[in-house]
Structure 1
Amino acid sequence: MGSWFSTLFNMEKSLELESSSLGDLPEGCLASVLLFLDPLEICNLARVNRRFCGASSVDFVWLSKLPPNYDAIIHRVFDDFPSTLCKKDVYARLCKQNFFDEGTKVVWLDKRTGKLCLSISSKDMIITGIDDQRYWNYIPTEESRFGMVAYLHQIWWFKANGEVEFPFPPGKYSMFFRVHLGRASERFGNQICNSNQVHGWDVQPTQFRFSTYDGQGSRSPCFVDTPGKWIHYHAGDFVVDCHQTAPKKIKFSMTQIACSYIEGDLCLDSLVIYPTEFRERVEPF
């Protein structure tokens, strides 16, 4: 797409030498060219002149950037969505962090690609012993989209599981549990982590699982053994078929079951679901 962007500017420069400009083309022609650019490139070209600005707002340009089932996404996420918005404004609204289900989930579109991302808070999971403060607390933090995370003091049997039903656009997706070993805090503006209380996680792998109602699923055993930083632990990948119209139903879990030792000192933030091609964007795991 970047080559298209540079080509347009080269054309503009060449035509200016002939006392004409690319901006003299009808808006409909310019809009047809903009179809080949990504959203950020379209927004940059909108600043070139008035004709480009008009072409960059044409509905069919932004309709091509929206997920094919964007109306189902809007219906799932918003209680009241303005019906008068142009497609460019619909795209901009969906690129924001849109919280729903009482703030326990957030969905957004990647600004450059229009791909959908979803995150589910630990508050929306069923966690063993979560109501007993001897084991768990919810603690506030600016390091979470949700403003708080579930913090485990210690427990014999760790299990966190949940379920989501959402109209994912067609594509391949990867699921990750976002976990921090040790309790993070700030001192004099610096991020610190005291890992002296971390225990039990190096005895055997933690199991990350998921399954879908159409038969997909996986189990990913992995040692949770890196204190002091947020890690995305891969639970597996799933595919949404282009012919699928019903929302995708997914169950997921993170478990560490062993009654001979205690696990402790861990923060559980969320489950995140990204397009699989975004995997390099998440932190190493």
Structure 2
Amino acid sequence: MMSLNELPEDCVSTILSLSSPWDVCRSTAVCSELRSVAQLDCVWESFLPSDYHEIVSRAGPELLKWDSKKELFFLLCNSLLIDGGNKIFNLDKITGLKSYVLSARDLSIAWADDPIYWAWKHTPQSRFKESAELRTTSWLDIQGYLKLNMLSPNTTYGAYLIFKVSKRAYGLEIMPMEVSIEVGSDVVSHNTVYLRQDEGKKHQMQWLIYYNRTEILASRVNHGSEDSNLKLPGARGDGWMEIELGHFFYGESGDSCRDGKVVKMSMKEIKGHHLMGGLIVEGIEIRPLL
């Protein structure tokens, strides 16, 4: 039987490039014969996104220094600030799939420039310069947009609002919000979420007061939806909370019709008769569902 060191180097490098970053790292850990080949640029370039030159330029090439494509790959796995600090780009270390975080400044937020309704400030534990803190409103509407061809093809993605709730928050637990994902002109995900869980008699009373309106809204939002379960927020490892806005699938790359489309992620509340405040918006994360 032929051993690995008897195979031509280009043959071994081709085999490795058809695997995954995780497989290459794991293989070299147990097989010393693969280590030299596994360092080659031709292997690691296959794991880099096809537009990595553009991504590097959007970060500022002077900020990134590398001596090999393997080193560049792991630099891109370190949540790189791009587009003037308004987005974060990241590669998954195991799969090499892309993900993004759109900052609050990169989102479309109703009345965000009016200091009566929103305040812009730096928030601890945030890599962005500013987060948006809701002072008061009766109409919440947050939207994010991303070109589909910026993502990894043949991948299912989830979109998540990243946020916090201040100690002085009010009104966020009363009504569910509408969340949706649109790819081009097609609505591919539609659901309802709560931004805050409130326990005790206060919540019970609010639920009784708003029960009929909540049922009507939830019924209308979930009509025709494949997933009609009400979503609740969960804690992240970075000190923030997140709530799922929906998910979508990006198919084959190279389809000019599909690639020209934009993914629209939104969360809004039907205009009501109560005020809310205390929501701190970090941004929207679009990451692969692994």
User: Fold match, TM over 0.5?
Assistant: yes
Matches within 5 A, 1:31-46: 31=13, 34-35=16-17, 38-40=20-22, 42-43=24-25
* 1:115 match: 97
Q: As a proportion of its length, which structure holds more strand?
A: 1
1:179–1:268 CA contact under 8 A, matched in 2: yes
Give the drift of 1:47. 7.1
Query: Which stretch of the first structure deviates more once superposed, 167-176 or 24-33?
Result: 24-33
Q: Give the superposed CA RMSD.
A: 3.3
Change (3 A) 1:33 1:128: closer
Matches within 5 A, 1:183-198: 183=166, 194=167, 197-198=168-169
1:199 equivalent to 2:170? Answer yes
2:99–2:288 CA contact under 8 A, matched in 1: yes
Letter of the 1:273 partner, please give it.
I
Query: Which stretch of the first structure deviates more once superposed, 33-42 or 205-214?
Result: 33-42
1: distance between equivalents of 2:91 and 2:272?
42
Query: Which stretch of the first structure deviates more once superposed, 243-252 or 160-169?
Result: 243-252
Counterpart among 168, 183, 204 of residue 212 in structure 1: 183
Counterpart among 188, 213, 221 of residue 192 in structure 2: 221
Letter of the 1:169 partner, please give it.
S
Change (3 A) 1:146 1:248: farther
1:231 equivalent to 2:244? Answer no
1:173 equivalent to 2:157? Answer yes
CA deviation vs aligned residue, 1:207-230 (integer Å, no higher than 9, x gap): 112211152432221111248953
1:77–1:99 CA contact under 8 A, matched in 2: no
Q: Secondary structure of the equivalent of 2:170?
A: coil
* 1:148 match: 130
* 1:269 match: 282
Change (3 A) 1:88 1:214: farther
Change (3 A) 1:132 1:214: closer
Give the drift of 1:28. 4.3
Give the drift of 1:88. 2.8
Structure 2 unpaired stretches of 5+? 199-233
Aligned residues: 242
TM-score (norm 1): 0.70
Matches within 5 A, 1:81-100: 87-100=69-82
Structure 1 unpaired stretches of 5+? 1-20, 184-193, 278-285
2: distance between equivalents of 1:52 and 1:151?
52
Letter of the 1:78 partner, please give it.
S
Give the drift of 1:177. 0.9
Give the drift of 1:85. 7.1
CA deviation vs aligned residue, 1:67-98 (integer Å, no higher than 9, x gap): 4xx23x5436625769x975434423432323
Q: Secondary structure of the equivalent of 1:91?
A: helix
2: distance between equivalents of 1:256 and 1:215?
21
Give the drift of 1:147. 4.2
Report 1 or 2 for greater relative contact order, CA contacts < 8 Å, sequence distance ≥ 6: 2
CA deviation vs aligned residue, 1:81-123 (integer Å, no higher than 9, x gap): 69x9754344234323232222211211101110111110111
CA deviation vs aligned residue, 1:47-73 (integer Å, no higher than 9, x gap): 789864421123442244334xx23x5
CA deviation vs aligned residue, 1:12-71 (integer Å, no higher than 9, x gap): xxxxxxxxx97687644653554476424534665789864421123442244334xx23
Letter of the 1:179 partner, please give it.
F
2: distance between equivalents of 1:248 and 1:276?
20
* 1:78 match: 57
1:257 equivalent to 2:265? Answer no
2: distance between equivalents of 1:164 and 1:77?
18
2: distance between equivalents of 1:29 and 1:125?
46
Give the drift of 1:256. 1.9
2:122–2:129 CA contact under 8 A, matched in 1: yes
Identity %: 26
1:23–1:49 CA contact under 8 A, matched in 2: no
Change (3 A) 1:29 1:212: closer
* 1:65 match: 47
